[in-house]
Structure 1
Amino acid sequence: MHLAEATIADVQLAYQSGELTARQLVEWYIKRIEAYNHQGPNLHAVITLNPHALVESDRLDAEYKRTGNFVGTLHGIPVLLKDNVETKDMPTTGGSLSMEGYMPQSDAPVARLLREAGAIIIAKANLHEFAIGGETGSSLGGQTLNPYDLTRTPGGSSGGTAVGLAANFAILGIGTDTVNSVRSPASANAIVGIRPTLGLGSRKGIVAACYTMDAVGAMARTVEDATKMLNVLGVYDPADAMTAWSVGNVEEDYTIHLKKDGVRGKRIGVLRSFFGKDPIHQEVNEITNKAIEQLKALGAVIVEMDTPDLDANILASEMSIQPFEHKKDLDDYLSNPAANMPIKSVEEWLASGKYYKPLENYLKQICTMSRDDAEYKDRMLRRGLLQERTIKLFADDELDAIVFPHQKRLVVPVGQSQADRNGILGALTGFPSIVVPGGFSKPDQNAPIGVPIGIEFLGKSWSEGKLIEIGYGFEQGTRHRIPPVSTPALPGEP
């Protein structure tokens, strides 16, 4: 087995043959993190290594030796967890100096479900502080770099998770997505990101941002591995009422949708209004148009959609409701009396001075906004109308999915704010989407193989299975993922 680009299937076959143990696998991933996280390319993808990872590996190895059976579907699979997900054995900081050292009393349901399936949480990954932004910079974790172009950001806010997967620090990753935060870094790092239907996956024990838009997402280098992780997440949690919508709608096993001809016969609408129109958008448009031709070649029926007034930038500026919900939801999380967190409110966070300074204006802004504002109520009404309009687009053209570039332009250089992202439609509607590698920009001196460009497929509520068929069929038919050259195999690496 080769460590580079290893999959769940590769690793578990190696366990069964005796070629590999969980301890050996984790040791190699730790070596890679130590070699590339704070030296070499200095990716700053990981905030905290799990000090118990090798002990957990030994436990799983002993259990397999004793019984001859895996403890679960993710037995011995290393996972990177975004550091806004609570873990009982590692600090959960949100990337903020104000939360440095905070140890939760228990795992978030997401972390618990992964462990029960046999996964090993190898590390906590950097994020844009408290998941507020698209460039993955934080006061505790620093600025995460894109391994394909070290002068650029990795997207965000789940950029540490995405970079860690692209650089082969683990096999699976957990991100969270309020507006773009799983799909943006997936697009920018040539990996797969699934934002499921709102309600699939508990948000309990995760730093809150926006109750009506927050989602947990599965991230991996392949559609198959992301799908296997999704299987573990879709459990009803009474502590998160939104998950009640999932009861009766979550499939028992999404891997039945891993069909190599999954694209064939699917009706896929092209949302041209989500393409950029300026010279800076040209490379992304070229790659996306090539992907559409590849979908045709794989048997898709392509439908050109007539929606000139549906514009992602306008949706983000005029309909986003996160700023109105953010302070109350974050305050409720921080002030939980059972948690005893270092800060108890956004005001205390600001007063501490321990925050990523580019966030200051936003934090002050949300202190003046709430769900009681007339503008919030108006936006929620328009959000409902957008959901109706979007589902009607599916019905009128009998669509299985809608396709567009996740980002209209390449991820920006470090120090700039990421513009032109298209995740807002999935976030506002609550509909599921999957981002898969679509290709690369032209290579240059900073990007030896180019900058990754991801393609987003949006489906109707609870159509994850159909999206997996399309994403897997496209991935298998194109094989666009290439690992970065900035994190090569280490000496002696299998």
Structure 2
Amino acid sequence: MTEPSLFRRTAAELADSIASGEVSAVEVAQAHVERIAAVDDAETGVHAFLHVDAERALATAAEVDAKRAAGERLGPLAGVPLALKDVVTTADMPTTAGSKILEGWQPPYDATITRKMREAGIVILGKTNMDEFAMGSSTENSAFGPTRNPWDLSRIPGGSGGGSSAALASFEAPLAIGTDTGGSIRQPAAVTGTVGIKPTYGGVSRYGLIACASSLDQAGPCARTVLDAALLHQVIAGHDPLDSTSIDQPVPDVVAAAMRGADGDLAGLRVGVVKELGGEGYQAGVEARFTEAVEVLGKLGAEVVEVSCPHFVYALPAYYLILPSEVSSNLARFDAMRFGLRIGDDGARSAEEVMNLTRGAGFGAETKRRIILGTYALSSGYYDAYYGQAQKVRTLVSRDFDVAFEQVDVLVSPTAPTTAFPIGEKVDDPLAMYKNDLCTIPSNLAGNASASFPCGLAGEDGLPVGLHVMAPVLADDRLYRVGAALEQALVSEWGGPLLNKVPEPAGS
């Protein structure tokens, strides 16, 4: 049995301990494998993981130890474990995107970010649960059952990347990868008390991500601390010629920005509170913690002003035309002919019949809903009225950001209007579910960088609240400066990390 406290250390602490020889990478990996076994039961526990490859994780950790013993120079996160969202391809593990239509499918190649993490010596523990094809805000749309929030197992962990955020909050992994199409990194981070970063669109390669909406999807780092997220961001970011949307420009020094922010000095930084993201429909406890977090930023030297972004109120309806339209195109590849599930192929049925049977059985209700919406929006006679108009709104949202960033360095809002809601409460009300992304969607439409940082617990239910920080395109470092400064101030106030307050999940 390994030292139990190992799984409660930060990624930076683990990296230092491994590098100094205090512990081995194998001991660290074993501690996390044991933690997953203790708390991640699919029926009664957190259920953050869909697939755990303990044998391969331990083998990777042993390779790190051997390289270090041989005197090789290793990356700053070598030997540190990570949970990988199951929408990112892995040649040695299944990649299902949370869908029955890909159950058991093992890709023939690694995504670029998977390759980069392997080269950095990061130990991939397994693949985490998610809403099917990243469509959802609760991880209830997974074909393999819901993930549960470690703060309260009757509540959702956010979505679509609830598995990654829950793995962090339950101390099953110190690092995770998520993807964010309309808030799927940031909203789960907010409701689990963790850190989630949506990098600038094109700042991290999308090669090897199973596409939901190609103009919106972005992979990013998830962690329990701001510095840990920065260290992972530094590993996965950068230009990739395999991704046509990848930006060929230097990556901002996010680690230096996190360290600078940890000094607690925000003098000279201008912070804009978005007028349109708050008020009616926002939980009182969420608004209270948000207001207090903004006051902390002011005490640290930031200049706080109110900023209006008038077209943000139209972002949600525009998004739910653009996203389904791209979904209907991207998911056409799952045709039962090339890979994945195949139903009714008995030789007597036509290819069209097999395709219909397979899609009917393989896609869940929310995925079907969005495919139908998108196909309708792109159909002849409706394209200009729906999809075309939505793209015009997208332009107006981007212009709002441009105008705002002429006045301030970053924008802030709550990350989500409410804390984590009970599992099943909104599953039959798509519109109520969609409203969870009110604050996060504008950044996906515009492509700018944004993040969620823990800012306390709501008074009504004692559940985590997130501060949403938005920065200009390729100014990802500003997120880390603000997040680290807030983290240092609040950890001092709380007497330690917020996640120290999370109860032990059942079965641990």
Q: Name the TM-score, length of structure 2 as normaliser.
A: 0.87
**Larger helix share, 1 or 2:** 2
Whether the 8 Å CA contact 1:435–1:454 is kept in 2: the answer is yes
Aligned-residue offset at 1:283: 1.1
Aligned-residue offset at 1:394: 1.6
Aligned to 1:447: none
5 Å-filtered alignment, 1:153-172, equals 153-172=156-175
Are positions 1:405 and 2:417 aligned together? no
Select between 348-357 and 231-240 the one with higher mean Cα deviation: 348-357
Whether the 8 Å CA contact 1:325–1:370 is kept in 2: the answer is no
Change (3 A) 1:388 1:5: same
5 Å-filtered alignment, 1:414-433, equals 414-417=423-426, 418=433, 419-421=435-437, 422-433=439-450
Match of 2:189, SS state, is: helix
Are positions 1:362 and 2:370 aligned together? yes
Structure 1 unaligned regions, length at least 5: 445-449
Aligned-residue offset at 1:236: 1.7
Change (3 A) 1:274 1:77: same
Aligned-residue offset at 1:347: 6.0
Whether the 8 Å CA contact 2:315–2:394 is kept in 1: the answer is no
Q: 1:409-434 CA deviation, whole Å, 9 max, x = no partner?
A: 22221113333431111111111011
Aligned to 1:353: 361
Partner letter of residue 58 of structure 1?
A
Q: When the two structures are aligned, how many residues end up with a matched partner?
A: 475
1:89 to 84, 89, 92: 92
Between the aligned partners of 2:396 and 2:366, the Cα distance in structure 1 is: 33
Aligned-residue offset at 1:328: 1.1
Whether the 8 Å CA contact 1:371–1:377 is kept in 2: the answer is no
1:193 to 189, 193, 196: 196
2:296 to 294, 300, 307: 294
Aligned to 2:401: 390
Aligned to 1:174: 177
Between the aligned partners of 1:21 and 1:129, the Cα distance in structure 2 is: 36
Change (3 A) 1:482 1:125: same
Sequence identity percentage: 31
Whether the 8 Å CA contact 1:4–1:489 is kept in 2: the answer is no
Change (3 A) 1:117 1:133: same
Aligned-residue offset at 1:139: 4.6
5 Å-filtered alignment, 1:171-320, equals 171-243=174-246, 246-251=247-252, 253-258=253-258, 259=260, 260-278=263-281, 281-307=283-309, 309-312=310-313, 314-320=314-320
Partner letter of residue 277 of structure 1?
E
Aligned-residue offset at 1:161: 0.2
Aligned-residue offset at 1:359: 3.9
Structure 2 unaligned regions, length at least 5: 343-350, 427-432, 492-496
Between the aligned partners of 1:41 and 1:54, the Cα distance in structure 2 is: 26
Aligned-residue offset at 1:388: 1.6
Are positions 1:125 and 2:124 aligned together? no
Are positions 1:326 and 2:327 aligned together? yes
Are positions 1:62 and 2:66 aligned together? yes
Between the aligned partners of 1:315 and 1:140, the Cα distance in structure 2 is: 29
Aligned-residue offset at 1:303: 0.5
Aligned-residue offset at 1:183: 0.4
Q: Name the TM-score, length of structure 1 as normaliser.
A: 0.90
Partner letter of residue 214 of structure 1?
D
Partner letter of residue 432 of structure 1?
A
Aligned-residue offset at 1:335: 6.6
Aligned-residue offset at 1:403: 0.5
The two structures, once aligned, show a CA RMSD in angstroms of 2.5
Q: 1:425-476 CA deviation, whole Å, 9 max, x = no partner?
A: 11111110111001111265xxxxx111000110111111122111111111
5 Å-filtered alignment, 1:16-165, equals 16-38=19-41, 41-50=44-53, 51-67=55-71, 69-165=72-168
Match of 1:168, SS state, is: coil
Between the aligned partners of 2:136 and 2:84, the Cα distance in structure 1 is: 18
Q: 1:230-282 CA deviation, whole Å, 9 max, x = no partner?
A: 11122222221110xx212423x42111212352321000113101324x621
Are positions 1:440 and 2:457 aligned together? yes
Aligned-residue offset at 1:484: 5.2
Between the aligned partners of 2:227 and 2:476, the Cα distance in structure 1 is: 13
